[in-house]
Each structure stands twice: as C-alpha cells, then as structure tokens.
Structure 1
C-alpha cells in the first residue's frame, strides 16, 4: 500500500479544548492531511472539575487552529470508549495514533488500545508528550504500562522520555524526534514599540509564559530578579494561569520588593494576544525544575525570540547554549540571574538570526516522516 493512501485515526484533544497538546494535535492532523486521509477522534468530556487545575478547559481564542473531528470519548464513560472503538472499526484505518501525556487517560486509552490490538490488525502508535507525568500521580508507572502494552510503537520528543520508555518497555520499537515548531501560532504580531507602549514597559523585558505549576520553578525566577537588579534594571512578565497557590507567589513578590518590576497576568491568553507579550519581550525564560520537552520554546522560536532555560530534561536538546539562548543550572536563583545578566551583556550574537536558522530542524515534516516510517516498520 502506498503511504499516500493511508487512512489514519488520531486520538487526542482538539479545539474547543485549550492547551499546547490540543494545538499540537490540530497542527499535526493538518500536516498529515496533506498526504493522508485523517479521522480525528477527540473528547466529548475531558476531566472532572475536581481534577482540573484551571478555570476552564475551553479555548477562548477566536483564531485557534481547527480541523474537523468527532467528539466521542469521555474519560470516565466506558460506553464512550466502546462507541469510539465502533467508529474506528467502521473507518477501517491503516494505523491509529494516540497522544499520550498523563495517566488519567490510562483506563480509556488502555482499553481502546487493547480492543484495537486484539480485534483489528492495525498498527497502534503512541505519540508521547510525557512518558511519565511531571506532577505526582497515583500508580503512574502501572497505569502507563497498561496503556503502553497495547501499542506497537512509540514516538518520543526528548532523550529523557526515551530513557523512561526504555525502562518501562525494554526492546520497544521507538523513534525520537523533536517537538515541532509552533510558528503557525505566531501569526498575530505586534511592533515591539507598540507592544511595550500597550503594556507600559521600557528597558529590558523578560517573559515567563505558560501555566504556573510547581515543576515550572517560577519561585526561582522571582528570587533571581533582585540579583539581576544589582547589575541592571529589568521587568518580568509572568503570563499564564496559576495552577498553584497564587498567594504564595504574590507574597514572595511582596517580600522581595518586586511589585514595580513584576507584572502578573493570571489568565489563559488566547492566540490572538500572544504577540502582545512575546513581541514586547527581549527573551523568554524557562526556570523549570523538571521537564521533558517544551512547547513554550517552540512558541518563543516562532516569535523569533531567544530562550534562557534551565538545563533539565530535553530542554538542552532544543536551546543551543550561546546561540539561541543560554542554559543554566536548575533550582538556582544565582545561576538564573547570572544567565539573564549574561544575555543582556552579550552584544556579538544575532539571536533572532540564529533562532530563524534553527527553525528548519523543527519542521513538521520530520514528525510526519517519523510516523510514516514507524507504520512501515510495523507493517513489514
């Protein structure tokens, strides 16, 4: 069978659900659809309110990437799993791709994968965003193995995830390819001066973007700011919804006397507003204490921005130290401050040109080719 005629079923989040994986899934399906027939199966309902850390799981963006899909699955409704399986069976696909990122979906995905593997002669691929979760999750490894045993092959996006996968599933068929670019999400641009005028900013500007969660290390970034101020003035934008105790961070800002140099935007930012914050910033900062890969880096690159990141997980595979940003030691406010000051004191590097040059390494074609090659290996 020619790869040009493959029929693929993809299972994962999509608009109107929000978040990086929903964007990733939609962009992936758009790319796959250029060469194959794609049926996207998304969620009728995601998480129970008690398990969801945000205010809403719906995307407020007017111009979020979209693609036709069937909303079938509910995480805690076994009947919806059977309906999804029936839909897949009727579609008679050549392969099925599950997105994997958190063990909460293990009962649904594991049951579906088992049904597919034992009832249909169809390759099952797991595209892993995180092999294991960042935050503690009961029976995480047991639940993950339950799902992974139903798959024929895996795609991971960092060396860290590759190691975790090898430990959980020795001798599995796996390929590694980097998280693709989010440049398509960077269409709404602002002139730098206008963005800064809108936000009331002058001078050097740092941007932390994304959900504020314990593993993101925002407290280390806040503790670094007074150290940076000894050498230079700087303003920090913290833009993203808090999934942690916000009062703890506000208290730290007050204790450090940072009220005038830190702006907190505690909400999910729609796509059409991304340019306001990214174009106003000089550099994007990721102070993470744990990570596998990061869509925020790809979003930063999409806006042509360099990145200062801690050297954790797969982030060092994407941030080229001294070329597209700097890598610093995690859990260390001093190291983070030194990296920030070093960035602004480095005048012989064309950061934007370097970022533009590396974009080719993160083209979506590499993810599409990885999927195609795995399907061929399974079917051969």
Structure 2
C-alpha cells in the first residue's frame, strides 16, 4: 500500500498573546493538519502598536484552554514593525510546500505582502478569508480603500483561497476580483475544547439558579444587534420575563447604545450585563448555564461564538444573514429570524422558552476538525 506523501505546511496567524477566535482557529487548524503533515505555526509576536488595540491591557495576559500540539513546530517570531522578523519567517516558508495566510484584518496586509515577496516564486500560498473587511475598518474610508487595494495585490500571489460559506465565496470574488472556481468553501470548525459542566450547578455559580437563561456572548459592536435583543426581551410576556434572565456577556468596544438601553430598560432587574473581557475560564460556566444562545447580528461572515454554542449543543436563535445562514443551516438546533425583526426575535425566544429542549443537539459532522483537515489535504494543499 502506497503511503501518502507528508507535506510541509506553514500556517500564519495570531498567537495567543492576542487571544481571539482567530487565535483558536489557527491553533486548531495547525493541530488538525499536523496529524498527517509536518506543520509550522508562524505566529505574530507583536501586531499593531499596543495602544491602538482596544484590549491592549490584557495582551499576553490571557490563559488558554487549548494548546498547540507538540507535533507542530512553533515560531512566534512575527512583529508588525520589524522587517527582520519577516525575513526570519520567510526562510521557514521557503522550505514549505504550502503556506496558509489567515486573513481577518487589513492591519496584517503589509506583513503578508513582505512575506510573499521574500519567500520566492516557488512557494504556494493559500489565503483563508475570515472577513472581507472588518466592520470597524470598513467604516473608515482610507482603511477600506487600503484593505481592498492590498487584498488585490496579495491575492495575485495565492494559488487558492478558502472561505467558510458560499456567501463569502461570492463576496470575496467580487471584492478582490478572484474567479469563484479558485475559492474553496470549507466549514468553520467547532470550538469544542471547553468542558461541559452541570447546568444547574453553573447557574447557581452565576447567581441565577432556577432561571431560564437567554445568552448573548461576545464583543458588543453595533452590527451584533444587542439593542434589538434587549427590545425583544422587553416584549416577552411578563410570565416568561419573571422566570428568565437575559445575560449579555462581553466587552463593549463600540456599542454604547446598548449599554444605555440596558440602563434605561424597565426590565433592568432581569438583564445581567457583564461588560468586560471574558476569559477562557469564564466560558464553561456561562455556556453550560445557558438555555438559549441568541445571535441577532445585522451582518456576519461567521461567528466563533456560534461554534462554541454548537459544541455545547445549545438551541441557537440567529439572524438569517451572510455566512451564518449556511454555517448554522446544517445544525438542527438553529432557529432563524430575519435581521432587525424585533417581534420575530421575541416570538422565537418565547417559543423556545415554552418548548424546552432537554437534550443537547449534535454538531454537524463536517464541522469536526478531522473532517476539515481531510478537506484541506484533499482539496487545497495536495
């Protein structure tokens, strides 16, 4: 029997110093690919000038729930401002069969361009798009134009591209003038590295014992629709409100409107706002205690929070927008509502409250990391 050729794959993305969904994605992808390949994790040591990052005080201070496999070669060497670090990374890339660039923000564009130029023409590059343009960057015209122009320059060096939905395939093709046939759709993997705890014990720990929990989790940003969720909760029948609580857990970066809305709500005593960065150690109790995860986004490519919710088997109410439609469409626990539809969101919340699911939903098979690694190997890097 012929043995499969082992490839050398370099994956470039953020380290856990800048802990986020993209950090975890980079770790999980490296680990999955390393089962059948030699993998180099080329990680950012320093990104933006520290003070420009909203969460700068916690850089390098966050603990993690999953580690890079000891089968992966780790190079935490890339600096936003240091060309010598780019040259060091390029030396490793030149020895790789394939290099995967994780793209989620235009702030890394100049580094990626430098790496492409320094690595030589023999290197095969793959760009994996998590965002076309970050919503905050998109609102600033010079940054939006920079991201689009740099994206078009960089994409010329890539042989293939990866997105997580057909919606993003068409969006990326249009934005960066890429032929859709060159863009592969591979599902976003589960964030299933958190322990599942006893629900009632977790509720007791959070101080909401006996209450039904509607959960919003993640950074508060205007496009995530938190203000609409608050309004929908206010419209619930008083009997449901009296037996439930709305937990909004996440740091408010830009969405002060929702903070004000909570403070002025007539059901303020039934809304718990945890306005801070939630560490990994907080996630197991919050998600184990939750009865429903609500994602009332007005736009979205993907949601790492959704993939935590799926791993916990939670019922999920999500807006029928962008990549969420596809990524959550194969999950049996999803109830879709139209974006900005407050009455529809309130009705969905009431319906799930009245018809409670006691058993967790099973995650789709194609979201498992072994399956994703197989897809990558067969369709992208081989």
What TM-score results when the alignment is normalised by the length of structure 2? 0.89
1:107 maps to which residue? 110
Maintained 8 Å contact 2:127/2:161 = yes
Within the candidate set 211, 232, 245, 1:224 is matched to: 232
Residue 98 of structure 1 pairs with residue 101 of structure 2: yes
1:77 maps to which residue? 82
Residue 58 of structure 1 pairs with residue 60 of structure 2: yes
Deviation digits for residues 253-297 of structure 1 (CA, Å, limit 9, x no counterpart): 122223211111122222232111111110101111110011111
Higher deviation after alignment, 145-154 or 277-286: 145-154
1:232 partner SS: helix
Maintained 8 Å contact 2:16/2:64 = no
Counterpart-to-counterpart distance in 2, 1:29 and 1:59: 22
Q: CA deviation at 1:9?
A: 0.9
Q: CA deviation at 1:375?
A: 4.3
1:268 maps to which residue? 277
Within the candidate set 341, 356, 365, 2:350 is matched to: 341
Q: CA deviation at 1:367?
A: 2.2
1:69 partner SS: strand
Q: CA deviation at 1:177?
A: 1.3
2:62 partner SS: coil
2:263 partner SS: helix
Q: CA deviation at 1:199?
A: 1.4
Residue 235 of structure 1 pairs with residue 245 of structure 2: yes
Residue 292 of structure 1 pairs with residue 306 of structure 2: no
- Any unmatched runs of 5+ in structure 2? none
Q: CA deviation at 1:230?
A: 4.2
1:148 maps to which residue? 155
Deviation digits for residues 106-127 of structure 1 (CA, Å, limit 9, x no counterpart): 11112212333xx241211111
Q: CA deviation at 1:141?
A: 1.5
Maintained 8 Å contact 1:175/1:370 = no
1:372 maps to which residue? 377
Counterpart-to-counterpart distance in 1, 2:60 and 2:66: 11
2:336 partner SS: strand
Counterpart-to-counterpart distance in 2, 1:165 and 1:3: 32
Q: CA deviation at 1:306?
A: 1.4
2:17 partner SS: coil
2:78 partner SS: strand
Higher deviation after alignment, 170-179 or 54-63: 54-63
Q: CA deviation at 1:134?
A: 2.6
Q: How many aligned positions are there?
A: 366
Q: CA deviation at 1:190?
A: 2.2
Maintained 8 Å contact 2:216/2:294 = yes
1:16 partner SS: helix
- Any unmatched runs of 5+ in structure 1? none
Q: 1:74-223, aligned counterparts within 5 Å?
A: 74-89=79-94, 92-116=95-119, 119-135=120-136, 136=138, 137=140, 138=143, 139=145, 140-167=147-174, 168-171=176-179, 173-184=182-193, 186-187=194-195, 189-201=196-208, 202-223=210-231
Q: CA deviation at 1:80?
A: 2.3
Q: Classify 1:338/1:34 alpha carbon distance in 2 versus 1 (closer, same or farther; 3 Å).
A: same
Maintained 8 Å contact 1:44/1:72 = yes
Deviation digits for residues 115-169 of structure 1 (CA, Å, limit 9, x no counterpart): 33xx241211111111332332511321221221221101100122101122123
2:313 maps to which residue? 304
Maintained 8 Å contact 1:205/1:283 = yes
Q: Classify 1:267/1:199 alpha carbon distance in 2 versus 1 (closer, same or farther; 3 Å).
A: same
What TM-score results when the alignment is normalised by the length of structure 1? 0.89
Query: What do you get for the CA RMSD once the two structures are aligned?
Result: 2.2
Counterpart-to-counterpart distance in 1, 2:90 and 2:77: 10
